[in-house]
């Protein structure tokens, strides 16, 4: 049994997809993203976020790159892509807590000083 939508009410206009599709020449335009589904909680969409602008080297002097590390620079570039330029309240709060714990321990001259100042 083909070309019939068995789930349509008898008194309703037939959905034409099946009958007409058989006669049409389709032009394949590639796969399209599924619409309307939040089943993956938007994870797939998030994973397609472009990375931050600039080269990895541009992030070596980033305020949050406390070790002037190339690896951290790469992480920061990606994080910038997700979150923008990282001038976020949550970043300030997190790094502030980190610095507070350092200050309370009385460590000085540490390379971690002023980490998180944006």
Chain residues in the site for another protein (CB under 8 A)? 1-14
State the Cα–Cα distance between residues 92 and 80, nearest whole angstrom: 15
| Closest to another protein by CB, 12 or 27 | 12
Helix (H, G, I), strand (E, B) or coil at 89: helix
Which one, 2 or 38, has the nearer CB to another protein?
A: 2
Query: Smallest distance, Å, CB 25 to another protein?
Result: 23
Q: Which CB, 17 or 44, lies closer to another protein?
A: 17
């Amino acid at each position: 049994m083909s070309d019939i939508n068995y789930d349509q009410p008898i008194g309703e206009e037939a959905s034409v997809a099946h009958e007409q599709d058989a006669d049409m020449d389709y032009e394949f335009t590639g796969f399209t993203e599924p619409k309307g589904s939040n089943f993956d909680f938007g994870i797939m969409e998030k994973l397609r976020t472009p990375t931050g602008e600039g080269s990895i080297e541009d992030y070596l002097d980033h305020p949050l790159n406390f070790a002037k590390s190339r690896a951290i620079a790469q992480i920061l570039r990606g994080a910038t892509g997700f979150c923008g330029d990282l001038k976020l309240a949550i970043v300030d709060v997190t790094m502030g807590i980190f610095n507070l714990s350092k200050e309370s321990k009385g460590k000085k001259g540490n390379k971690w000083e002023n980490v998180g100042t944006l």
